[in-house]
A and B are shown apart, each in its own frame.
Chain A
Amino acid sequence: MRPRLWVLVLVALACALGLANTACEDITARTIVVWHAYRGDEERAIEELASRFEKAHPGTLVELLAVPFEAYPAKLEAAAPHGHGPDVFIDTHGRLGAYRREHVVAPTPPDVADPAQYDTIALDAVSEGGRLFAVPLSTKCVALYYDVDLLPEPPATLEDLVAAKLPEGTLPLAYEANSAYFHAALLSAFGGRLLDDHGAFAFDSDAGVRSLELVHELTAKHAIPAEPSGALVTQLFASKQAAAVIGGPWLRSDLGDKVRYRVAPLPKIARSGELMRPLLTVEGAMLTPHGATRPLAVDFVQFLGSKEAAIVLATVGHQVVARRDAWTDPALAGDPVLGAFHDAVRSSVPMSSSTRMQAAWVPANEAIEKALRGEDPRAALAEARRRFDDATKPPPPPSSPTPALVVLGLVLLAASIQIARRTRLADVKASLPAYRYTAHAVLVVLVLVVVPLLAGAATSLFAGSRDDMRYVGFANYVAILTARGGALLGHGSFYLTLLVTVLWTLLNVTLHVAIGVALGVLLSRPLLKLRAAYRALLVLPWAVPSYVTALAWKGMFHRQFGAVNALLGLVGVHPISWFSRFSTALTANVTTNVWLGFPFMMVVTIGALTSIPKEVLEAAEVDGATRWQRFWRVTLPLLRPALLPAVVLGGIWTFNMFNVVFLVSGGEPDGETDILVSEAYRWAFTRDAQYGYAAAYAVLIFGLLWLITRATRKWQGAGT
């Protein structure tokens, strides 16, 4: 195009952008951004409220964004402190501690919420240091759903429920017994707590021991299902295989009309004489610091806390609202399930919003799992305390970065001198056109690969959780390599995990290669009919996303309802509890990963086989080789050059195979099947964001794999 036309186009573009910008600014002034983690009915409720607000305030736009629950904190913490992100967001009170620390939430302005209008217990949950940080919207706790066909009356005690007369094969109760969240209710009946007021681990008390003994008994008596999960207990209740289920308001939409049920607050436990008190989570509308400065956003929060909004939340979203006067409304009064949950709230215990709560779940869950398997509860709880303390250990003191910076400076200096010495200006000038071609690719690789790598490596030199990162030099590496002061091969130690990872990798790669090569050779023999069909069938494991496959296999290995035990039962094998022993859990993981991985080897083999000339194999045949000898002495050695890179790649991928280990065994039993990469994950995301520590793990993994690859190269080079 001619230059003049270029100028015109650019000017037009600039005008358009300018207009759009001003328009945007206008809109932005009248828009409130609201984040929430709702789905289904609850999402419809909030949308209804948003449109009502827009009608009441013409010209305003309420922009709703549904964010997945797990990603919520990360997104908020990335955006809010810098003035981006939402003005208003709806979240649980449990995260308030972290949000305050991260300056994600601002105190609710006075006069926005009249304390008299809300349930006290909800207000307490969203207040800290006497100040309100959210307008409480709904309260969530679990209660007892019971099938009225099987249990005409709600049981007075847990023991009554267990002893109830039920049809053959029906469980009295189904609930997620292995989750500390649910177990907290039983624990409270014995007078125990997960954390005390100072944020210290409190589960390992006599109350804790008694509660664990009770759960073990229930499982042994087959009063509750083994290896429960949310999906399983829901399905058991919905198919009338369980007479009662402990669940929250969210269960309603899953149950629908399948069962005739009623809800009642959790009963007492006769053994202790006390009520089971579930944990309470309060959802509230919170303002970001940025949003608190905008009157429109404050108005919206006030509207959300109004009686009108509470009625919508209760009728459309089926939420147990915290607003007192909403319950007088006939719509709410006529919903017995909602009313039952409201009753249950009265006997609930608000969950601690301490940041240390995050670190308590995993050790508590692990202790419960052990107790369910029949191990000594006291020892399990003592171990849980040890792990909690270990996870919440304060980071090492900061050290001075000066020596590292000096060294880095020297290294860079030396490198620049070397480069300056080696390059000649004439060479650079001659290569200039080439640099123009490669510059953008190099840039992309730098930004997408090298920079994150270096950033990760740099992170490993820091310790502490998100807001408290301090430079500690190599302290993280020292901690990892000394197994954090504990036994070298103790639980969670780097070396033990390394051994498990190596074992995991060796087993998998051996099986991958053996099965892949065998099938590859079989499929390339011309005698096999329907070759194309076989090939498609075998590549299927490869094409299905590994996430899906892992979850499917996990279901198949379920002790009670899984396909594997069912098939084994056909040949008379006793049902195996796959995830209660290291050997069987590892077998389950290996089976899944081999299923996922052998097609790769098979395809590589088939490709490599086509490069073996037919005449060489014929010559071997004439020379006197049997089919096996031809394979072993001719085919296999000729496959080696192609297989070796595949084996190296496969080895690296298996070494870092997070999906399968995390999704199938989840590290069970008790973290024993965790590999290095899933252990690193836990440090980053379940033990209070120890990013630096996890980064150090990652750097160590990288270093190990690099060394192994070099060793393999040497070995390969020596072989040719």
Chain B
Amino acid sequence: MERLSEHEKRRAAERADEASPASAPKVAMRCEARGVHKAFGGTQVLRGVDLSVPDGGFAVLVGSSGCGKSTLLRSIAGLETVDAGSIHLAGRDVTRLAPRDRDIAMVFQSYALYPHLSVRDNLAFGLKLRGVARGEIEARVREVSQMLGLEALLDRLPKQLSGGQRQRVAMGRAIARRPTMFLFDEPLSNLDAALRAEVRVDIRRLHDRLHATTVYVTHDQVEAMTLADTLWVMNKGLVEQSGPPLEVYERPRTRFVATFLGSPAMNLLDAKLVRKGAGAWLAEGADLAVPLDAERFGSSLTEGREVTVGVRPHDLCVAQQGTTELGEIVVEVVEALGFESYVHGWARQAGPSIVMRLDTAAGSVRVGERVKLAAAPDKVHLFDRATGAALTS
């Protein structure tokens, strides 16, 4: 109930704000990282990363733990020094500048609110430091607290706030500064699932309103997919692929990117390429034969080539009359989620587990049943077995 009323409050505030020019967008700036290298002790964490975010863009750095995304973010902020490479903000080389001179605001994973200051003082801290006039400070604090629904909390201390409220104060603190760039370091990971979903939307809404350049780090692919203008998938200190989220999702360039995005993960199958006739190719493995679109892969198709086939669970379906069958699986586990189910089975007893998404409306399967699988050829991905790179024409 409480959330709902806050929600409404915010809507009202936004409507009011839209009328006033107080939150007019500031001139945003490009952010670029070129060839950044960083090592901690003996471990090389960043191996030459390039990043480019346009004015007002929302870039999301995503990857598993230890891939270097937080380090890259902190390097952009200036909290870490880079061993090689450079950082440019609004065309300026800021590699040697202290964080306080880069005009950025950061929201930390643990919010890092000042425990001894009230919410109001937390919001005003950065402004006071920069000698902003008292009237201006009050105006901005009011504006930000209205924006984020914090009016009732202004005199409380951080320890008297809930997790979600603290998160909003952390964002408010960043927003009040009106910086030219926002940096978010996994800000939602300490919230519960429902709150996470709600705040995610709020962040996107705020970004659209403020038009500020944002770099956002997360390990959660749902956040990555929903928030990003550009997605940057990182693995072991390098950017494996970047681009709009849907593109990265539908056309992964490496096996890692393919399996990282999408839940449940893409099914991977070790297979060999087999030519079945003129322009008809199959990838055979684990008692399955996957038909391939020869045009799509072009000259990468060679007889006997060892590949990994990838098909997302959502792209598998029960074979109907007239569709090309891939093979048969024996159902082992059925995860019923209400509107859909995930069916786990194996084609070969000792082979890999295949996961298929099944729409509840389309029927149900039972454990032990034999199900025939089919997939649209354009949804099949091929990766080189050794390098993991996607096969293209």
Is the A/B pair a real complex? Answer: yes
Interface stretch of the complex, out of B124-132, B219-227, B252-260, B353-361: B124-132
Answer whether residue A51 sits at the interface, using C-beta atoms and an 8 A cutoff: no
The answer to the question of B365 belonging to the interface, with a C-beta cut-off of 8 Å to chain A, is no
Q: How far is the CA of A624 from the CA of B124 in the complex (A)?
A: 12
A615 at the interface (CB under 8 A from B): yes
CA distance A626 to B129 in the complex (A): 9
Complex Cα spacing A637 to B118, Å: 13
Contact of A637 with B116 in the complex, beta carbons under 8 Å = yes
A593-627 CB contact bits vs B (8 Å, 1 = yes)?
00000000000000000000101101111111110
Are A622 and B99 neighbours in the complex by a CB distance under 8 Å? yes
Q: Which residues of A contact B105 (CB under 8 A)?
A: 622-623
0/1 interface trace, chain A 623-636, chain B, CB 8 Å (1 if under): 11110010001100
Residue A700 interfacial (CB < 8 Å): no
Once the chains bind, are B112 and A619 in contact (CB under 8 Å)?
A: yes
Q: Are B110 and A623 in contact (CB under 8 A)?
A: no
Given A622-B79, A623-B173, A624-B100, A629-B112 contact (CB < 8 Å): no
**Per-residue interface assignment for chain B, residues 88 to 117, with 1 indicating a CB less than 8 Å from any chain A CB and 0 otherwise:** 000000000011100011101110111110
Our pick among B77, B78, B113, B129 for the contact of A629 (Cβ within 8 Å) is B129
Give the residue of B98, B99, B110, B173 whose beta carbon is less than 8 angstroms from that of A615. Answer: B110
Contacts of B166 in A (CB 8 A): none
A624-B112 in contact (CB<8A): no
Contact of B108 among A615, A624, A633, A640 (CB under 8 A): A615
How many whole Å from B196's CB to the nearest CB in chain A? 20
The minimal Cβ–Cβ distance linking B48 to chain A, given in whole angstroms, is: 25
Q: How far is the CA of A509 from the CA of B126 in the complex (A)?
A: 33
Does residue B177 face the partner (Cβ distance < 8 Å to A)?
yes
- In the complex, A249→B66 CA distance in Å? 81
Mask, A295-313, CB within 8 Å of B = 1, is: 0000000000000000000
Chain A residues near B115 (CB-CB < 8 A): 616, 638
A613 touches B110 (CB 8 A): yes
Cα-based distance from A586 to B109 in the complex (angstroms)? 52
Complex Cα–Cα for A619 and B78 (A)? 12
Determine how close the nearest CB of chain A comes to the CB of B237; give it in whole angstroms.
22
Which one of A613, A622, A625, A633 has the highest number of Cβ atoms from chain B below 10 Å of its Cβ?
A622
A638 and chain B: residue at smallest CB distance: B116
Whole-angstrom distance between the Cβ of A369 and the nearest chain B Cβ = 52
Closest approach, in angstroms, between the C-beta of B215 and any C-beta of chain A? 13
Alpha-carbon distance A638/B116, docked complex (angstroms): 7
CB-defined contacts of B110 to chain A, threshold 8 Å:
613, 615
CA distance in complex: A615, B112 (Å): 6
Inter-chain contact B79/A621, CB cutoff 8 Å = yes
Q: How far is the CA of A453 from the CA of B106 in the complex (A)?
A: 58
Report whether B100 and A618 are in contact in the complex, using a CB–CB cutoff of 8 Å: no
Q: Which residue of A lies closest to B157 (CB)?
A: A720
Determine whether the beta carbon of A621 is less than 8 Å from that of B116.
Answer: no
By the criterion CB–CB under 8 Å, are A616 and B100 in contact? no
Chain A 274-308 residues near chain B, CB threshold 8 A: none
Rounded to whole angstroms, the CA-CA distance of A622 and B103 in the bound complex is 8
Q: In the complex, what residues of A have CB within 8 A of residue B77's CB?
A: 622
Most buried by B among A618, A638, A640: A618
Tell which of B79, B116, B129 touches A623, judged by Cβ atoms closer than 8 Å.
Answer: B129
**Who on chain B is nearest to A619 by CB?**
B112
- Tell me how far the C-beta of B155 lies from the nearest C-beta in chain A, rounded to whole angstroms: 14
Q: How far is the CA of A640 from the CA of B115 in the complex (A)?
A: 12
Given contacts A637-B116, A638-B115, whether A626 and B100 have CB atoms under 8 Å apart is: yes
Taking CB atoms, residues of chain A closer than 8 Å to B116 are 637-638, 640
Shortest CB-to-CB span from B246 to chain A, Å, is 33
CB contacts (< 8 Å) of B126 on chain A: these are: 623-624
Please, how many angstroms separate the alpha-carbon atoms of A626 and B131 in the complex? 13
A618 and B130 form a contact (CB under 8 A): no
* Chief secondary structure at chain B's binding surface: loop
Given A616-B114, A637-B116, residue A623 in contact with residue B177 (CB < 8 A): yes
Residues of chain A within 8 A of B113, CB atoms compared? 616, 619
A640 and B177 alpha carbons, distance in the complex (Å)? 28
Q: Tell me which of A616, A618, A640 contacts B79 (CB under 8 A).
A: A618
- A637 to B126, alpha carbons, bound, how many Å? 17
Among B100, B109, B114, point to the contact of A621 (Cβ < 8 A).
B100
* Complex CA–CA separation, A622 to B108 (angstroms): 11
Q: Is the CB of B112 within 8 A of A634?
A: no
Give, as a whole number of angstroms, the nearest-CB distance from A101 to chain B.
64
Interface string of A645-685 (1 = CB under 8 A from B): 00000000000000000000000000000000000000000
Q: How far is the CB of B136 from chain A (nearest CB, A)?
A: 15
Shortest Cβ distance from A48 into chain B, in angstroms? 72
Q: Which residues of A contact B98 (CB under 8 A)?
A: 621
A633 to B79, CA, bound (A): 19
Chain A: CB-nearest residue to B121 = A633
A620 and B114 CA atoms in complex are apart in Å by 8
Chain B contacts for A623, CB-based, 8 A = 100, 105, 125-126, 129, 173, 177
Q: A615-B108, A629-B129 are in contact. Are A622 and B100 (CB under 8 A)?
A: yes
What's the minimum C-beta distance from A716 to chain B, rounded to whole angstroms?
14
A618 closest partner in B (C-beta): B79
In B67-92, the 8 Å CB interface with A consists of: 77-79
Contact A624 B130 (CB under 8 A): yes
Kindly state the separation between the CA atoms of A719 and B113 in the bound complex, as whole angstroms: 19
B112: A residues at CB distance < 8 A: 613, 615-616, 618-619
- Which among A616, A629, A634 has the highest number of chain B CB atoms within 10 Å? A616
Pair B129/A622 contact, Cβ less than 8 Å: no
Q: Closest CB-CB distance, A185 to chain B, in whole Å?
A: 68
Q: How far is the CA of A634 from the CA of B106 in the complex (A)?
A: 17
**Hey, what's the 0/1 contact readout for A474-490 against B, CB within 8 Å counting as 1?**
00000000000000000
Docked complex Cα distance between A623 and B79 (Å):
12
Q: Which residues of A contact B125 (CB under 8 A)?
A: 620, 623, 633
Among B109, B113, B116, B126, max chain A CB count under 10 A is at B116
Q: Given the interface contacts A613-B112, A638-B115, does A622 sit within 8 Å of B106 by beta carbon?
A: yes
Assuming the contacts A624-B126, A625-B129, asked whether A619 and B106 have C-beta atoms less than 8 A apart, the reply is yes
Structural contact, A624 and B106, CB atoms closer than 8 A: no
Report which of A622, A626, A629, A634 forms a contact with B114, defined as CB distance below 8 A: A634
- Nearest Cβ distance between residue B342 and chain A, in whole angstroms? 38
Q: Is there contact, CB below 8 Å, between B130 and A622?
A: no
User: What separation, in Å, do the CA atoms of A233 and B390 have in the docked complex?
Assistant: 96
B contact residues around A616 at 8 Å (CB): 112-115
Report how far A621 CA is from B115 CA in the complex, Å: 16
A285 to B83 alpha-carbon distance, docked (Å): 86
Smallest Cβ-Cβ distance to B179: which chain A residue? A622
User: A619–B105 Cα gap in the complex (Å)?
Assistant: 9
A624 partner, pick from B109, B114, B129, beta carbons under 8 A: B129
* B130 contact set on A, CB distance < 8 A: 624
Instruction: Tell me the minimal C-beta distance from A593 to chain B in angstroms.
Output: 31
Collect the chain A residues with CB atoms within 8 Å of residue B114's CB. Answer: 616, 619-620, 634
> Using Cβ atoms and an 8 Å threshold, which residues of chain B touch A634?
114
Q: Are A618 and B129 in contact, with the CB atoms below 8 A?
A: no
Question: Which of B79, B98, B112 lies at the interface centre, i.e. has the most chain A CB atoms within 10 A of its CB?
Answer: B112
> CB distance B108 to A625 under 8 Å?
no
**A165 to B112 Cα, complex, angstroms:** 80
* Sampled A-B contacts (30; CB under 8 Å): A613-B112, A615-B108, A615-B110, A616-B112, A616-B114, A616-B115, A618-B79, A618-B99, A618-B106, A618-B112, A619-B108, A619-B113, A620-B114, A620-B125, A621-B98, A621-B99, A622-B99, A622-B104, A622-B105, A622-B106, A623-B105, A623-B126, A623-B129, A624-B126, A625-B100, A626-B100, A629-B129, A634-B114, A637-B116, A638-B116
Which residues of chain B have a CB within 8 Å of any CB of chain A? 77-79, 98-100, 104-106, 108-110, 112-116, 125-126, 129-130, 173, 177
Kindly list 16 other residue pairs between chains A and B, CB separation below 8 angstroms, not including A622-B106, A623-B173, A637-B116: A615-B108, A615-B110, A615-B112, A616-B112, A618-B79, A618-B106, A618-B108, A619-B108, A620-B114, A621-B98, A621-B99, A621-B100, A622-B104, A623-B177, A624-B130, A629-B129
Q: Which 4 A-B pairs have the closest CB atoms?
A: A623-B126, A619-B112, A615-B112, A624-B100
